């Protein structure tokens, strides 16, 4: 019977990867227990082993580019009992209930505003930038913000709802540049506190609130990078609430990461445990079903390749301030963030996932809609 090491080496070889090879994307094994951990725990074991220093790689993104392009990740998932059990729980239980939805805010978004300030752009947008005609991260995020404002057809005096407002970047930009009144909601206390500070003096209201408690009308609604936390069991309810809160002549823009391989009911176990608990990327078919007889689809824009560039920019900022992150997170936590950013960049590079901006209106909305690019 092949040894654990032999089995893993054969798996990796199918993707052109060696252990202790000479290529930057090859794996350097520091602890022989790595092989058994991969076999028993799949992607969760691989990620945890990296956090604990059991293996290293000079080019993590290219390593996972190769893993994803060859489908090696699916092979590992199919042979992982823990992954199968994780997926079963996601099918049976609502992982994004009111109570469970607060986990990601406390674990990830309340990590520390200072660290996010070091990694992100001047508007602190923790979502994909729009790199068309942009030379750096600040420009890419400002271009994204303006693209959203133009797609929403903003004009002075409109009431805008920002669901999942983060640190107030969109609210600040829209209020300053387009003179609109913005209400932003988030579940993160840390985000809300900084958003209030950044938007001081503007016509902006920031609230710590669950989207399920919304009951007021707005001219425009935007949600940037929040729908990934809603969960497929709640997609329809989310759209119903947005429909109820949107003026009959209004516009709703949904900015979300999307899965390119159909219905998603759970996420990667390592991502779920360490980065985004309860998060799951929507598939195109899931979004389409969730808006049936509620909204009219006006535009669907995919610029997923821009997310790879955005993640690489975040990773560069992260590495430039490595000592700050390590002082706050420790060595294991710092390796966790490096692993997260690099593997996500690979997922966009391999086109496993994309970035979608979807423009929606009520079916009774009048007038022709012309999209922006």
Enzyme catalytic residues = 344
Instruction: Tell me if 225 sits within 8 A of 273, measured CB to CB.
Output: no
Cα distance between residue 163 and residue 179, in whole Å: 19
Q: How many CB atoms lie within 10 A of CB 350?
A: 19
Phi and psi angles of residue 216, each rounded to the nearest 5 degrees, phi first: -155, 165
Q: Which residues 6+ apart lie within 8 Å of 37 measured at CB?
A: 45, 46, 48, 49, 54
> Nearest-5° angle of CA 215, CA 124, CA 224?
40
* Alpha-carbon distances, residue 175 vs 122, 137, 352 (angstroms): 16, 21, 35
**Helical segments of the chain, H only:** 4-13, 33-51, 60-69, 72-78, 81-92, 98-104, 113-119, 137-151, 169-178, 189-198, 235-245, 269-274, 284-291, 305-320, 322-349
Instruction: Tell me if 214 sits within 8 A of 223, measured CB to CB.
Output: no
Cα distance between residue 251 and residue 361, in whole Å: 5
Backbone dihedral region for residue 124 (phi beyond 0: left; psi -120 to 50: alpha; all else: beta): left
């Amino acid at each position: 019977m092949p040894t654990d090491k032999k089995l893993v080496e054969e798996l990796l070889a199918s993707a052109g990867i060696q252990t202790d090879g000479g290529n930057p994307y090859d794996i350097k094994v520091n602890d022989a227990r790595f092989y058994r951990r991969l076999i028993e725990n799949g992607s969760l074991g691989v990620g945890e082993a990296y956090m604990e220093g059991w293996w290293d790689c000079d080019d993590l993104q290219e390593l996972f580019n190769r893993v994803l392009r060859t489908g090696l990740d699916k092979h590992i998932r199919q042979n992982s009992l823990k992954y199968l059990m994780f997926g079963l729980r996601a099918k049976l239980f609502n992982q994004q209930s009111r109570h469970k939805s607060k986990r990601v805010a406390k674990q990830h978004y309340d990590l520390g505003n200072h660290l996010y300030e070091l990694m992100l752009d001047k508007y602190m947008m923790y979502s994909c930038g729009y790199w068309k005609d942009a030379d750096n991260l600040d420009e890419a995020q400002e271009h994204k913000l303006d693209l959203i404002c133009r797609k929403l057809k903003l004009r002075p005096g409109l009431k805008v709802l920002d669901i999942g407002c983060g640190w107030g970047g969109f609210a600040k930009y829209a209020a300053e540049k387009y003179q609109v009144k913005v209400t932003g909601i988030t579940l993160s206390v840390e985000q809300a506190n900084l958003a209030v500070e950044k938007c001081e003096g503007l016509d902006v209201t920031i609230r710590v609130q669950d989207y399920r408690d919304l009951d007021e009308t707005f001219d425009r609604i935007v949600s940037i990078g929040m729908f990934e936390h809603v969960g497929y069991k709640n997609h329809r309810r989310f759209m119903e609430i947005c429909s109820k809160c949107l003026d009959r002549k209004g516009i709703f823009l949904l900015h979300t990461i999307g899965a390119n391989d159909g219905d998603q009911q759970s996420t990667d176990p390592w991502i779920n445990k360490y980065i985004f608990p309860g998060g799951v990327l929507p598939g195109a078919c899931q979004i389409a079903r969730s808006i049936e007889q509620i909204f009219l689809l006006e535009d669907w824009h995919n610029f997923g390749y821009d997310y790879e560039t955005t993640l690489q920019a975040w990773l560069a900022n992260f590495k430039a301030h490595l000592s700050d992150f390590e002082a706050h997170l420790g060595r294991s936590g710092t390796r966790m963030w490096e692993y997260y950013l690099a593997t996500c960049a690979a997922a966009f590079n391999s086109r496993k996932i994309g970035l979608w901006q979807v423009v929606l209106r009520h079916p009774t909305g009048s007038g022709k809609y012309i999209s922006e690019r």
